[in-house]
Structure 1
Amino acid sequence: MSDNSEQIPAGDDVLGARGTDEQNPASKDPSEWVTGDEPMTASQRSYLDTLAREAGEELPADLTKAQASTEIDRLQEKTGRGQS
């Protein structure tokens, strides 16, 4: 098994880091997104459709990007898809 505790030098760009990264818009709360009020993307819609079916739920088809992101997080937790 590999040791994942290797330290990455400060200043290197990383993905999957814990906490918020003020420089990365994707790490912001969805309610703070500049484009959060725009309609959800086709990818969000497709994934939400899959998650909602697996969870036995129905969701409105007119969600915003921010709402879709929040629902994806919630449904991933409910269905276990978001776990590593």
Structure 2
Amino acid sequence: MADQTNAGNTIKDPDDWTTGDQPATGAQESYLHTLASEAQEEVPDGLTKADASRKIDELQEKTGRGA
């Protein structure tokens, strides 16, 4: 049987996202505020999708919610 690696599951660096400079999505903002509350941190306003993704990763690590 051939190796069927799914290239669609590759995690891209947020800096390489074509939409990374667009405003964060509602889902990102909601999750950020949940994580920030648990971490007792503030979430800056006006984050881009890429910035929000990086902040989510940071807060997941801090709160132990990360994968």
The amino acid that maps onto 1:59 is V
TM-score by length of 2: 0.87
Q: Percent identical across equivalent pairs?
A: 56
State the TM-score, normalized to the length of structure 1.
0.71
Comparing both chains, which one has the higher relative contact order based on Cα–Cα distances under 8 Å and sequence gaps of 6 or more? 2
Shift of 1:24: 3.3
CA RMSD for the aligned pairs? 2.1
In the alignment, structure 2 segments of 5+ residues that lack a partner are: none
Q: Which has the higher helix share?
A: 2
Structure whose CA Rg is larger: 1
Q: Matched residue pairs, number?
A: 67
* Structure 1 residue corresponding to 2:35, chosen from 51, 56, 67: 51
Q: Equivalent residue for 1:32? A: 16
Structure 1 unaligned runs (5+)? 1-8, 14-22
CA contact (8 A) 1:31 1:66 kept: yes
